[in-house]
Structure 1
Amino acid sequence: MIVGHIGARKGSKGVPGKNFRNLHGKPMIDWSLDQLLRNSRIDVVIVSTDDEEIYHHACTKDTLDIGMRPPDLCTDTASKWTVWQHSLAVTEAQIGPVSVFVDLDCTSPLRWDSDVNAALDQFAVERPDMLMSCCAARKNPYFNLVEPDETGALHVSKPLANHVVARQQAPEVYEHAASTYVLDPAYLKSAFSLFEGRVLPFLMPSERCVDIDSELDFKIVEFLMKDQICD
């Protein structure tokens, strides 16, 4: 049983109401929610939210009703991990054991349907505890990320003995892209945070990994999505 999950908290300091804000003709959440609903490999789709409008909207679609999110998971300090754990527990209480838990972040609506399938394929082959969407990092802590010391002088964040002088010489690093996650439910139940187990990268193009956390991000996504729609 593969469960697809969307988490959509009501509050947002950077972009108020962003999860239900109109984006090219439909609520932003639907760009991710509809991906799960039309994917034939996803057996059940659930939405975790403290927003009554989003909750009732989800109930009008082909989703399993898991109720409203409890108050302790509605603050901006509540972790994604504990929300996932709650959603899994409530879902399994209704439908029985879940074999794969898929989460799509609704603030990253640029992913393609093929990205979801590629993540499921990679998870089936490599069987990690979790796949986490990543993209190539624009800056590298071994080369061009710097930090001040106690005197204020700048140094490379992670210096190496061989003195990296070109980006190509630096170890490969990724950006954690809040887009697509695939988890083993047993790991989700037993761990306390993301990186306790064998967590592997699911690589996506950076242009499909824009996470909306500001009004500028929203405008960038609107622009990029318009380009995709026109194509």
Structure 2
Amino acid sequence: MAKIVALLPMKAHSARVSGKNFRVLVNKPLFRWVLDSLVSVDEIDQIIINTDARDILASNGLVDGFGGGKVLVRDRRPEICGDFVPMNTIIEDDLAAVEAQAYLMTHTTNPFLSAGTIQKALQAYGEAVEQGTADSLFTVNKIQTRFYRQDGSAVNHDPNVLLRTQDLEPWFEENSNLYVFSKASFAATNARIGGKPMMFETPML
């Protein structure tokens, strides 16, 4: 596959959990778990960290060239900083600055995303693009269970016909683990999920 760039946006402030990206999980900062997985994937040529927290990252040992030269830290432009800036705006800024044939995007809040899952997703994306069956990929949880509305009415099943849950129509939940796309697919929808996406099921934890 041609050049692949991973995007790992990271900001200093978090609205819900203060400094969450840098809090220690087991024995290292949260961001390092997924970053270490990205670094270990040979198919990924470069990792871009778009951030307003260069100093905090540096104090945690993360500088340009980290990971055998793979990591590039990009200072987030002031006009796209803040809690209410859409993630697609951050991605668009990176795409304008860094050329690649494919972009993989994930979050620091995915510490259990393994290198193996990343590699399988990249392979599935590459095959789908080559076959013309998809222009992008996003990860999902497959769910087969009985859903109800707030008023108690059934959503996806007939309570009078008690099918086994494994026989119910599966629903798929976007889980924000991983997105793979091209500059062209992003431009078509102005989003990381293109106009002809494929869903990639990841293990439930």
Paired with 2:157 and 2:183, the residues of 1 have a C-alpha distance of 38
Q: Does 1:129 align with 2:129?
A: no
- Equivalent of 2:162 in 161, 165, 182: 165
Question: Distance between the aligned counterparts of 1:172 and 1:84, measured in 2?
Answer: 31
CA shift in 2, pair 1:195/1:39, >3 Å? closer
RMSD: 2.3
Q: Matched residue pairs, number?
A: 192
Structure 1 residue 204: Cα displacement = 0.9
Q: Does 1:75 align with 2:82?
A: yes
Query: 2:195 maps to which residue?
Result: 197
Cα distance in 2 between the residues matched to 1:44 and 1:177: 24
Residues 180 and 196 (structure 1), Cα distance of their counterparts in 2 relative to 1, 3 Å cut? closer
Deviation at 1:55, TM superposition (A): 4.9
Give TM-score scaled by structure 2 length.
0.82
Q: Which residue of 2 aligns with 1:114?
A: 116
TM-score, normalised by the number of residues in structure 1: 0.74
Structure with more helix by fraction: 1
Q: CA deviation at 1:108?
A: 0.8
Could you report, residue by residue, the CA deviation over 1:78-135 in whole angstroms, capped at 9, with x for unpaired residues? 222221111111123xxxxx10101122101101110010011101111222111112
Q: Which runs of 5+ in 2 are unaligned?
A: none
Task: Please give the per-residue CA displacement for 1:46-72, whole angstroms capped at 9, x wherever unaligned.
Answer: 101122334543436131243x11234
Deviations 1:129-184 (A, max 9, x none): 211111222x65xxx32224xxxx43223567x97633334321112112111112
Structure 1 vs Structure 2: percent identity of aligned residues?
A: 24
User: In the alignment, is the contact (CA less than 8 A) between 1:105 and 1:179 conserved in 2?
Assistant: yes
